[in-house]
Amino acid sequence: MQTRRDFLQKLTSSAIAVSLLPHWAQACVLPAKRYEGPVLRVAIMGLGSYGTRVAEAMQHCTRAKLVGVISGTPAKITAWQRKYNIPAKNCYNYENYDEIRNNPDIDAVYVITPNALHHDAVIRVAKAGKHCICEKPMTVDAAQGQEMVDACKKAGVKLLVGYRMHFEPHTLEIIRMRNAGEFGKVLFFQGLSGFIIGDPMQWRLNPVLSGGGSMMDIGIYSVNGARYMIGEDPIEVTAEETKNDPVKFKPGIDETIQFQLGFPGGAVASCLSTYSLNNLDRFFLNGTGGFAELLPATGYGPIEGHTNKGKLDQPTTIHQAVQMDAFAGILLQGEQPPIPCDGEEAVKDLKIIDAIYQSARTGQKIALSL
Ligand code: NAD
């Protein structure tokens, strides 16, 4: 992980690129400018590996601040309190966190627990009257996702999903070029997403907690990426599953899935999601007038990209810090993200994943209406 000094040096060397960023991103990467607007006060639920990364990244935020925790492990709460100066009144466990409704010092809860626990947690947070930020996948199927969206609407709170690549400068530059017609008519996307998963006892390999295998965890990047790289929602899906290790990958846990998406403008996406290959993280977009490649495309960074015109010169950012500053603008000041990242958007991804599983199971092409 890069240090703050590395980060700032990279930024200084790409000051021009930074000045081209939208203002919500500049607010994060230009620390010299004092920020005096409203600050989003966030409690993190689930102090595991990604929760820890988000907390570290938030130390670089200007518009969002970590102020509370929800955890089932008292020792972790104590450690986080010390590390991040969190007062005892902002600490909750999984039994009592509904009481957060009486806490005026917390604006939003960021749910970073295993996938199958997101649904109930978001609904409880919404009922407690707090904005919800939820990790991907938002939950394990589209029907549950819609219930989460409906619960947040009913409670009058917003629901955002941790799609950190929606704020990543190389990604946004490719989208800008595509919108400007620089690749001609876009007709093809390839998304490759995978890593070799370790410990067979972890929750990611337990269908009750994960809701699925590589598709839910890493393949979702290609699903979501196909949509923002092509700039349309797919209308049909086909998929095929390969399982080489049925002991490690039990029923309900996909090891490898290949899937194809058809788009209304005539483009196709061809994607691979797997738990059995490392360093698999590449997006490739091709149009009649040019191409764009992101390699790596969705890792924590640095992201690298090039097009038929040459290498992309965009700043390296701390994804979670930029995301959280942007979320503060969305939640507190009604700002619009460059690519939608709300609950409705996540339901679309879940509908595609539902269709991918259905197609892999039945061998049928599945029509989609998103
Ligand atoms: P993790 O196992 O490291 O952490 C999960 C946390 O949830 C732990 O602190 C654990 O104690 C807690 N937890 C609460 N109830 C639990 C239960 N019943 N069983 C197991 N753990 C329980 O997992 P992680 O890697 O931090 O992933 C958490 C979420 O974040 C997942 O939805 C994952 O997809 C997402 N994630 C997103 C990114 C990203 O880049 N956006 C990266 C990694 C993980």
Computed over every residue of the chain, the mean pLDDT equals 93
Domain containing residue 57: CATH number:
3.40.50.720
**Same domain for 256 and 184:** yes
pLDDT at position 1 over 50: no
DSSP class per residue in 175-210: HHHHHTTTT-SEEEEEEEEE-----TTSGGG-HHHH
Which residue lies with its CA nearest to atom 13 of ligand 1?
113
Position 4 scores a pLDDT of 42
Q: Which tokens is 336 given?
A: 């619009």
Same domain flag for 104 and 236: no
3-state secondary structure 328-362: HHHHHHCCCCCCCCEHHHHHHHHHHHHHHHHHHHH
Query: For 106-132, what is the mean pLDDT?
Result: 98
Is 336 among the domain residues? no
Atom of ligand 1 nearest to the CA of 115: 32
Q: Is the CB of 201 under 6 A from ligand 1?
A: no
Q: Is the torsion defined by CA of 61, 67, 70, 72 positive or negative?
A: positive
- The answer to whether residue 82 sits within a structural domain is yes
198 ligand 1 Cβ < 6 A: no
Q: Is the domain of 114 the same as that of 159?
A: yes
Q: What is the pLDDT of residue 34?
A: 83
* Residue 23, pLDDT above cutoff 90: no
Does residue 79 have its Cβ closer than 6 Å to ligand 1?
A: no
Token pair for residue 28? 């994060």
Dist CA 264 CA 268 (whole Å): 9
Q: Whose alpha carbon is nearest atom 2 of ligand 1?
A: 48
Domain end call among 109, 136, 164: 164
Q: How far apart are CA 23 and CA 235, in angstroms?
A: 34
* DSSP code string of 267-326: -EEEEEEESS-SSEEEEEEEETTEEEEESSSSSSS---EEETTEE-------HHHHHHHH
CA gyration radius, the chain: 20
Average pLDDT of 253-272? Answer: 98
Q: Mark whether 159 and 188 lie in a shared domain.
A: no
Long-range contacts of 242-251 (CB under 8 A, 24+ apart): 244/276, 245/276, 248/200, 248/205, 249/205, 249/213, 249/275, 250/205, 250/207, 251/207
Is 209 touching ligand 1 by the criterion CB < 6 Å?
yes
Catalytic residue flag (residue 221): yes
Residues 27 and 133 in one domain: yes
Q: Which of the listed residues 44, 50, 54, 132 should we mutate to test ligand 1's pocket, taking the one with most ligand atoms within 8 A of CB?
A: 50
Catalytic (active site) residue 136: yes
50 CA to centre of ligand 1 in angstroms? 6
Of 1-10, 57-66, 251-260, 325-334, the one with minimum mean pLDDT is 1-10
Active-site entry in 92, 97, 130, 136: 136
Six-digit token pair at 167?
A: 């704020």
| 289 and 234 in a common domain | yes
> pLDDT per residue over 282-316, tens digit each?
999 999 999 999 999 999 999 999 999 999 999 99
Q: Is 160 helix (H, G, I), strand (E, B) or coil?
A: strand
The ligand 1 atom nearest the CA atom of 50: 26
Query: Which one is catalytic: 97, 110, 163, 221?
Result: 221
Q: Span 99-109, mean pLDDT?
A: 98
Q: Which atom of ligand 1 is nearest to the CA of 216?
A: 34
In a domain, 13, yes or no: yes
- Whose alpha carbon is nearest atom 44 of ligand 1? 50
User: Which residues, 6 or more positions from 184, have their beta carbon under 8 angstroms from its beta carbon?
Assistant: 287, 288, 289, 290
- 151-176 residue pLDDT tens: 999 999 999 999 999 999 999 999 99
Q: For ligand 1, is residue 191 a contact (CB within 6 Å)?
A: no
Residue 132: domain span:
4-164
